[in-house]
Amino acid sequence: MFKRFSGGGEQAWPLSKIVSALETAYDAADEIGEDGPLRVFGIEDRGVNFVVAMMQTGPGTGMVTELGFLARFIGFPVDAGIIQGVNRNLHISVASMEGPDLFLMAGVQVTGAYDQGQFSLILEAWRRDLMVTLHGISGGDHAFADLFP
């Protein structure tokens, strides 16, 4: 039953398709590092910077088994109540304080065949989580639409 819903049980997506989707979805996507099977890309989207890390099945295989998203927010006055409020509204992420900085993290384990539409939904969920976090820590009365004109 699970294989039917996940597209046949494939456990890796082509790195080239993921990178292409990142380049299409965001203003900039630049590779910033590689360590064995780990590839890390710096992403810029409408003034917000974050990283996407991809774990391949092995060094240089070009097949990704896991993706991680990470954003760091520096200099915002954040307390436990704000973090709880933000976390209640996130789709695929979790917000956490580490020292004075707030981190937004999400992870996806690949299942099924790569599908551009489904991956676009993951990217949109991450974008929404970024907006929810920015709104929650900004402390203003701005609408979500004001965050990403």
Distance of CA 65 to the CA centre of its chain: 15
Of 61, 51, 55, 59, nearest to 29 (Cα)?
51
Quick one: pLDDT band at residue 43, thresholds 50, 70, 90? very high
Quick one: pLDDT band at residue 34, thresholds 50, 70, 90? very high
pLDDT at 103: 96
Q: Is the pLDDT at 149 greater than 80, yes or no?
A: no
Q: Is the pLDDT at 67 greater than 50, yes or no?
A: yes
User: What DSSP element (H or E) covers 51?
Assistant: strand 48-56
DSSP state of 62: -
DSSP state of 125: H
Mean pLDDT of 21-28: 95
